[in-house]
Amino acid sequence: MFISGVTFVPASSKNPIRYLVTLNKQDKVIKLKEQLINCIGQDAPKNIALAEVLDSHIARILVSWNCFIVKVRCCIYMH
């Protein structure tokens, strides 16, 4: 198990919020999305996109929720 920091960036003008989630390297991205939604709570948006961020730039948008966490380096969430 490892603890990962994820940053949620709302589409509104609100400031980004950093959350800590606990995952296994064998977990899939969908589990990361579910944990983020649980952290956000009732204010969680209906549509969340997941992107991998490297050096402050979006490297790729993760469209496959079935890929393993071990393949994702740094995440930022937007809606």
pLDDT digits (tens, 9 = 90+) for 32-54: 888 988 998 888 888 888 888 87
Cα separation, 14 vs 34, in Å, equals 21
Question: Which pLDDT score is estimated for 72?
Answer: 60
Domain coordinates of the chain in residue numbers? 2-78
Q: In this model, does residue 73 exceed pLDDT 60?
A: no
**Residue 9 in tokens:** 């960036």
Q: Contact 76/61 with Cβ under 8 angstroms? A: no
Question: What DSSP state is assigned to residue 61?
Answer: E
Specify the pTM: 0.74
Q: Please name the fold of domain 2-78.
A: Ubiquitin-like (UB roll) (3.10.20)
Question: Which pLDDT score is estimated for 74?
Answer: 53
pLDDT digits (tens, 9 = 90+) for 50-71: 888 878 888 888 776 677 766 5
Residue 53 one-letter amino acid: V
Could you tell me how many residues make up the chain?
A: 79
